[in-house]
């Protein structure tokens, strides 16, 4: 797996995952919405940690700068 996510992209995904966690813990989301957003948050967190998104590969996208 060759990295295809830049620092900004990875940071945004991690922040969104944290926001979903906070919304869940404070009771602002629940039920099916919490489950769906939780799954998306987990995927965002994993992809931000490893720096690779399989959908980006499928569509030929890369947010990784050559410097990174």
In a domain, 54, yes or no: yes
pLDDT tens-digit profile of 14-46? 999 999 999 999 999 999 999 999 999 999 999
User: What is the reported pTM?
Assistant: 0.85
In a domain, 68, yes or no: no
* Domain hosting residue 21, numbered range: 7-59
Average pLDDT value for residue range 2-24: 95
Decide if pLDDT at 66 tops 80.
no
Domains held by the chain: number: 1
Burial class (CB in 10 A: 0-12, 13-18, 19+), 10: buried
Q: Residue 15: how many CA atoms within 13 Å on its side-chain side?
A: 6
Distance between CA atoms of residues 34 and 55, nearest Å: 23
In a domain, 52, yes or no: yes
């Amino acid at each position: 797996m060759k990295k295809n996510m830049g620092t900004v992209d990875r940071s945004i995904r991690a922040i969104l995952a944290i926001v979903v966690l906070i919304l869940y813990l404070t009771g602002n989301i629940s039920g099916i919405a919490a489950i769906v957003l939780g799954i998306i948050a987990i995927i965002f967190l994993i992809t931000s940690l490893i720096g690779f998104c399989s959908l980006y590969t499928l569509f030929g996208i890369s947010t990784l700068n050559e410097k990174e």
